[in-house]
C-alpha cells in the first residue's frame, strides 16, 4: 500500500512540474513572438 501511495505521489509531482514547465514555455514563447512581431513592425516602419 505504501509503495502504491508513493507511486501516485511521485506521478502527481511529475505532472505538476511538467505543467509548470509547459506554462513557463508558453509564456516564453508568447513573449518571444510579441518581441519578434514588434521588431518586424519597427523595421517595416523604419523602411517606410
40 vs 37: CA distance, rounded Å:
5
18 vs 32: CA distance, rounded Å:
21
Measure the CA angle with vertex 35, ends 48 and 20; round to 5°: 165
* pLDDT value for 43: 95
pLDDT in tens, 1-48: 455 555 556 555 667 778 888 999 999 999 999 999 999 999 999 998
What ranges do the domains of the chain cover?
Answer: 1-48
Q: What contacts 40, CB < 8 A, 6 or more positions away?
A: none
pTM: 0.55
SS3 content of the chain, % helix, strand, coil (to 5): 95, 0, 5
Amino acid at each position: 500500500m505504501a509503495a502504491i501511495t508513493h507511486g501516485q505521489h511521485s506521478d502527481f509531482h511529475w505532472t505538476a512540474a511538467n505543467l509548470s514547465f509547459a506554462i513557463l514555455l508558453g509564456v516564453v514563447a508568447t513573449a518571444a513572438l510579441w518581441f519578434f512581431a514588434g521588431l518586424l513592425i519597427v523595421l517595416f516602419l523604419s523602411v517606410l
